[in-house]
Structure 1
Amino acid sequence: MTLLYDYPFTSRWFTTRGGLSQHYLDEGTGAPVLFVHGNPSWSYLWRRPIVALRDHFRCVAPDHIGMGLSDKPGPDRHPHTLASRIDDLDALTTHLISERGAPERGWTLVLHDWGGPIGIAWALRHPHRVARLIICNTAAFPNPYGPRVRPGLRLPLWTLLRTPLGPSLFLRHNVFARGATWRPLGVRRRMPARARAAFLAPYDRPEHRIAIQRFVQDIPLRPGDPAWPVLRTVDQGLAQFADRPMLIAWGLRDPVFDLAFLREWRRRFPAAHLLTLRGAGHYLLEDAHEEVVPAMRRFLGAGQT
């Protein structure tokens, strides 16, 4: 892949037990900050906070298997499920602690989209590691609307995915990843062409888009969905992090993770620091990085004694 716009990092690779190469960034030194992305983004989403924080923190940002610069296996080599992504994150962080000098404790989790349940599930396995959390338009509990999708999203996403047209839209035409870079689905202000191209670069052909499709198919909406037990475990364990400092940074124009999700976070963590961004959508770090990144630095105490 050619050099990516505004991505001045050294790529690193971790070989999974299945022999797959997982790409990750490991920038800076100090207390570790673990950035966990969702779908259909990748570590490119975190480029600005990593640049801003790596002078005081060790910033770790993996790409899930099948996404970003990681290997893109078919379902015969990787299940592309919520449970498998948690296992992948656990294996990588264990490697960093045991082989690359990362500390056992003092980790800050930064979570976006379906990085929320992945990251919190990892934290529930190792609660002693987690010092702080930064929550960005995500969830770690069942859909506040119940076993349904918001009406405006049913047709373009879940309904079409389950029709014969779904595979063509996701795999051949890449509509999900493309749509996330356009107004009003993913952003509220126009994304520069070079940034949009970088978000889409890893998903340049149908066989590289399987994980995006499987990510959506695996979303647990009701009991009986394969990932539902994992999400319920995350939901039930979330309260144990109520004593950790938390920053909630939220784009208020997100069509998926909307005010109902924000209210649920606020109900569970009323002491959390809150930054609401009226002009920001789902990719809040694209719409409002000028506000979000400094807020992250202040919350983490970067440069302060």
Structure 2
Amino acid sequence: MIPSESTFNGTYPYAPKFSDAPGFRMHYVDEGSGPVVLCLHGEPTWGYLFRHLVAQLSRTHRVIAPDHMGFGKSETPADRTYWLQDHVDNIEQLVLALDLREIVLVMHDFGGPVGMGLAARHPERVSAVISINGPVPFGQPELGDVLTANAQESPWFSWILRAAQEGRLETVLNETGYNILSTLKLNGFENNALITPTWLEAYGSPFPTPADCRGVSGWAAGFAAGMHQFETPAAEAREMISRLPAMAIWGMEDRTLHGKHFLPLFRSLFPNGKVYELPQTGHYSLEDAPDAIGSLVSRFLGIPSGDKETATQDAYEAY
């Protein structure tokens, strides 16, 4: 767990806030005022991934970026499991405690199924969906085939399955604080110019000991063991969700979550949604292309942008 006061040389200058509603000390930032934007990170990142988006959107919106259990500045309890449904439970409790409504969900990596789990349980609280290299699956029958096909091409998921079978998954992931760069590069991180001591500290410092790595290893172990339970909304809730304004932004150099497998799920759920494919952008697209993503999200939210930004957005549009 990162000390609450850490700003990483001013690159994450947001005041830390905490809630005990999920049953542990969950950290989140809460910046700006206006319509709510809830940013949900994935593996093995934390709210730091959204630092540029928080700075930009908090001028016009209330932007909340929590750290999941076992990540960032949140606690890593020893008596909890770290499956998908646990993370959905935690976010649900935070949302209810803060009484968040008219939520714009912004989701990356496993933040996608966490956010969609929240939407399935509380569709009346969600106003829009933004997927940024973050799948939006429910527990539909075809999901198993999609996950299997993706895992066969993904070095990360292929390694997880093999390492779990051979009994060395935790051995490696319990040292995530030291192998963080290789993990990020394996998944798909393209902008090497960002690699500085501060940047590495920001992403590696949540995982200094094996006890601090329960979140990162738990998510991987849950996938290998088939423990993650994807929410299946009621028919009425699914219909409500499918009518929401929605946008997918996908870095097409993603080597972990291949767009060809997951974008069809997005289009199936959101037939009127917009899809933008970013070339030369990897899985951690918010690191590789923060300006392009900020521009696309701003336009989606109705925040005025310049002609140059609009031209850039149109160039990325796939559908």
- TM-score for the superposition, normalised by structure 2: 0.83
State the match for 1:128 in structure 2: 124
Unmatched segments (≥5 aa) in structure 1: none
1 or 2, which has the higher helix percentage? 2
User: 1:29 corresponds to which residue?
Assistant: 33
Q: 1:292 and 1:49, CA in 2 relative to 1: closer, same or farther beyond 3 A?
A: same
Q: 1:163 aligns with which of 166, 173, 185?
A: 166
C-alpha displacement at 1:219, in angstroms?
2.3
Q: CA deviation at 1:161?
A: 3.0
Is residue 46–residue 67 contact of structure 2 (8 Å, CA) maintained in 1?
yes
Do the aligned residues in 1 keep the contact of 2:175 with 2:208 (CA within 8 Å)? no
Match runs of 1:218-297 below 5 Å: 218-219=222-223, 225-227=226-228, 230-231=229-230, 233=232, 238=238, 240-258=240-258, 259-297=260-298
Counterpart of 1:203 in 2: which secondary structure? coil
Which structure 2 residue ranges, 5 or more long, are not aligned?
138-142, 306-319
- C-alpha spacing 1:50/1:4, structure 2 compared with 1 (3 Å): same
Once the two structures are TM-superposed, the CA of residue 144 in structure 1 deviates from its matched residue by 4.6
Indicate the residue corresponding to 2:213 in structure 1. 209
The structure 2 residue matched to 1:189, chosen from 188, 191, 213, is 191
> 1:94 matched to which residue of 2?
96
* Distance in 2 between residues matched to 1:175 and 1:25, nearest whole Å: 26
Percent of matched pairs sharing the same residue? 26
Match of 1:112 in 2: 108
* 1:11 corresponds to: 16
Aligned residues: 289
Contact 2:38 2:64 in 1 (8 A): yes
d(CA) in 2 for partners of 1:298, 1:152: 32
Partner of 1:145: 146
Q: Read off the aligned partner of 1:136 and give its amino acid letter.
A: I
Contact 1:180/1:187, CA 8 A, preserved across alignment: no
Cα contact 1:38–1:112 (8 A) shared by 2: yes
Instruction: Please state whether the residue corresponding to 1:270 is helix, strand or coil.
Output: coil
Give the letter for the 2:230 counterpart: L
SS of the residue corresponding to residue 219 of structure 2 reads helix
Structure 1 counterpart of 2:54: 50
Distance 1:174 1:125, change over 3 A: same
Q: Answer yes or no: is the 8 Å Cα contact 2:22–2:90 preserved in 1.
A: no
SS of the residue corresponding to residue 145 of structure 1 reads helix
* Residue 178, structure 1, aligned to residue 181, structure 2: yes
Amino acid at match of 1:134: I
